[in-house]
Chains A and B, each alone.
Chain A
Amino acid sequence: MNYSNAEWIEYLSPPGDPEAIAELNRRLIRALQFSLSGKVPESHLEALNEEIAQEAVIRILDNLSSFRGESQFLTWATKIAVRLAYSELRRNRWKDISIEDVLPPDSDNDDFTPSFLADPGATPEKAAEQNALISIVQRIIEEELTQKQKDAILAVLSGGMPLEEVADRMGSNRNALYKLIHDARIRLRDRLNKEGISVKEILGVFS
């Protein structure tokens, strides 16, 4: 069954044609089944897909008026389903984990001695140069960022915790957290520029 955008809107608008709703549900289940395979244990996949597709259909029916016809209806609908799927997957994956659980332990000293960061094949002089560059970066992070920014960056970049999960634990939301980290990045970028430090050069340390 291939509907045009106008047909989807017409058939899904209240009271909602049951056949069109069922077709939408089927399409979303199929879309999720292939795209989430491997991210969820196979034994849970079918039930999860059905649950998410159902939730997505409700969300889509409630928000039909926000579809502007700038893409295909099924593209827009599938986008909604995928977002819902990831929210659910991430919530389940991280539900028993606090921010503190993913933060690294306190460093014993203020000097950054990242021997593991330096190129193992580097000469002692090169390794010292590399370590010095990284120490500068760490000092700038300490000086420029608020504690909230540092915790957010640590949780997301080192801890791998998704933005919305960190945001939820901080009493915020995904967008506000993105902006918090964006502001931090701008501060760091501008400070590095001011000190004449090339990010490319530092990144070269890792390669």
Chain B
Amino acid sequence: MKKLDKKGLQRLLQIIEITKDEEYCCDECYEHLDKFAELIRAGKPAAEIYPRVQQHLEVCLFCKEEFETLLKALDQTD
């Protein structure tokens, strides 16, 4: 029987804690990511306006990584 290691178990429990019945999948989050990024950069309450995007980025570290890179990239397009 294969078991999660410490890192994996800890991470699983962290995301179980923030699991919602309805969540965006990756493409649903991606659909709104440009608007979300602009709100963040403008200092507006992005998480309140797009709570499901915020939640997805807390759960999905791969989308979060892309989003953080997008923010850095946008600094270069100004």
A17 to chain B, nearest CB (A): 19
Are A157 and B4 interface neighbours, CB within 8 A? Answer: yes
Q: Mark B28-53, 1 if CB is under 8 A from A, else 0.
A: 10100111011000000000000000
Are B9 and A137 interface neighbours, CB within 8 A? Answer: yes
Give Cα distance in the complex from A106 to B26, angstroms. 31
Q: Mark B15-32, 1 if CB is under 8 A from A, else 0.
A: 111010101011110100
Are B69 and A86 interface neighbours, CB within 8 A? Answer: yes
Number of interface residues of A (CB under 8 A): 59
Are A30 and B77 interface neighbours, CB within 8 A? Answer: yes
Contact of A154 among B2, B14, B35 (CB under 8 A): B2
CB closest chain-A residue, reference B11: A157
Give Cα distance in the complex from A97 to B25, angstroms. 25
Contacts of B21 in A (CB 8 A): 186
Any B CB within 8 A of the CB of A21: no
Contact of B74 among A31, A70, A189 (CB under 8 A): A31
Contact of B16 among A33, A104, A138, A192 (CB under 8 A): A192
User: Are A163 and B26 also in contact (CB < 8 A) when A185-B15, A189-B19, A199-B13 are?
Assistant: yes
Give Cα distance in the complex from A73 to B35, angstroms. 11
Contacts of B25 in A (CB 8 A): 174-175, 178-179, 182
Are A35 and B3 interface neighbours, CB within 8 A? Answer: no
Are B70 and A150 interface neighbours, CB within 8 A? Answer: no
Contacts of B9 in A (CB 8 A): 117, 134, 137-138
Give Cα distance in the complex from A83 to B66, angstroms. 7
Interface residues of B (CB under 8 A from A): 1-17, 19, 21, 23, 25-28, 30, 33-35, 37-38, 60, 62, 65-66, 69-70, 72-77
